[in-house]
Copies of this chain bind each other. A is one copy, B any other.
Amino acid sequence: MIQVHGYAAQHAGAPLTPFQFERRAPGPHDVQIEILYSGICHSDLHQAHAHWGAELFPMVPGHEIIGRVVAVGAHVTKLKPGDYAGVGCMVDSCRHCSACEEDLEQYCDEGATWTYNAIERDGVTPTYGGYSDQIVVEERFVVSIPETLDLKGAAPLLCAGITTYSPLRHWKVGPGQKVGVIGLGGLGHMGVKLAKAMGAQVVMITTTPEKGRDATRLGADEVLVSRDPAAMASHAASFDFLLNTIPVGHDVNPYLALLKRDRTMVLVGALEPLQPALNGANLIFGRKSISGSGIGGMAETQEMIDFCAKHGVVSDVEVVPIQQVNEAWQRLEKNDVKYRFVIDMASLRGEVA
């Protein structure tokens, strides 16, 4: 076993405090990674506060992990010690269902094994995430990080990046299309950068002109203020695709009016009831669709990393030491970050040393 240092919540709502635990020694197919950066995702807060039910404590959050490979098992082929590697939201899946066979492990019929707040497929071992100094993961669930990518800005690609990249690819966003990204947070700012890099005309749809100005800096061609009914009406039936990153329940009806006939709005953030209620008429008139999409498979995650390296896309991050993680969470709850906190794990090694 490997001794690991991290930060954990000991019970629902508890502050994160130092926590020492063990991980398995790398098996023949495993990669052992010294964690350099770990992004803070809003879902970390949801789970640590037990908003979604069935949470496991102590909980070491973190599923946007960038590190350096320190050891590999005998059968590992795609990584070697010294390489940079990434780990996202999953560390395992059943590997034999149709989803796994189609490289869509996130939709595994038996349920993927999440990077933290889950139980390994042995049925007993809890998973602990990236707010820690080392992790051991099977090769299939590790991506290779090119040296040219800014490492701290790359950490959020493992969740916020793939969550927005996957639907943009699946619904074939590209040149000649007018694409709206709804909501400017960790997900939304990646959506703008990625849709722009894919060649689309990108409109940031947000609540205030102030947020809009920053979206323009990120690459948005235009800003649509959703609280301005006249502006919304002027964009009616003009969008080829809408990426909806709002992380809470909300009224989807005004956004459906923005879609052209036969087009789709994809939800990636709202794991909640959408209220006020969706009106069926807003789908029937124009044969429109609402879909959802969750992260991406491992092959597509590697494709996304390579796409970001090629196009120079990383997340806008604010780097914090692990000792300030509770303050960072408090600020994140107020959306006070542009656009993703990333923990520099060197701070943890300094503490342990």
Name A's B-contacting residues (CB within 8 A): 98-99, 104, 107, 109, 170, 237, 249, 261, 264, 267-294
Q: Beyond A267-B283, A273-B280, A283-B290: 17 further Cβ-contacts under 8 Å?
A: A98-B261, A104-B261, A107-B286, A107-B287, A264-B289, A270-B280, A270-B284, A272-B281, A274-B279, A275-B277, A278-B278, A283-B291, A283-B292, A286-B292, A287-B292, A288-B292, A289-B289
User: A268's closest neighbor in chain B, by CB?
Assistant: B284
* Residues of chain B with a CB closer than 8 A to A288's CB: 291-292
Of the candidates B104, B107, B282, B292, which one forms a contact with A280 in the assembled complex, judged by CB atoms under 8 Å apart?
B292
Are A284 and B294 in contact, with the CB atoms below 8 A?
A: yes
* Residues of chain B with a CB closer than 8 A to A292's CB: 280-288
Are A274 and B278 in contact, with the CB atoms below 8 A?
A: yes
Docked CA distance A42–B277 (Å): 23
Chain B: minimal CB distance from A265 (Å): 10
| A-B pairs with beta carbons under 8 Å apart, 30 shown | A98-B261, A104-B261, A107-B285, A107-B286, A107-B287, A249-B280, A264-B289, A267-B280, A267-B283, A267-B284, A270-B284, A271-B279, A271-B284, A272-B279, A273-B278, A274-B279, A277-B277, A278-B278, A278-B290, A281-B292, A283-B290, A283-B291, A283-B292, A284-B292, A284-B294, A286-B292, A287-B291, A287-B292, A287-B294, A289-B291
User: A261's closest neighbor in chain B, by CB?
Assistant: B107
Docked CA distance A104–B278 (Å): 24
* Residues of chain B with a CB closer than 8 A to A249's CB: 277, 280
Are A293 and B284 in contact, with the CB atoms below 8 A?
A: yes
Are B237 and A287 in contact, with the CB atoms below 8 A?
A: no
Of the candidates B104, B264, B272, B277, which one forms a contact with A273 in the assembled complex, judged by CB atoms under 8 Å apart?
B277
Docked CA distance A267–B282 (Å): 10
* Residues of chain B with a CB closer than 8 A to A273's CB: 276-280
Docked CA distance A278–B265 (Å): 14
Are A281 and B274 in contact, with the CB atoms below 8 A?
A: no
* Residues of chain B with a CB closer than 8 A to A98's CB: 261
* Residues of chain B with a CB closer than 8 A to A290's CB: 278, 283, 289-291
User: A277's closest neighbor in chain B, by CB?
Assistant: B273
User: A275's closest neighbor in chain B, by CB?
Assistant: B277
Docked CA distance A278–B280 (Å): 11
Docked CA distance A264–B287 (Å): 12
* Residues of chain B with a CB closer than 8 A to A269's CB: 280
Docked CA distance A269–B292 (Å): 22
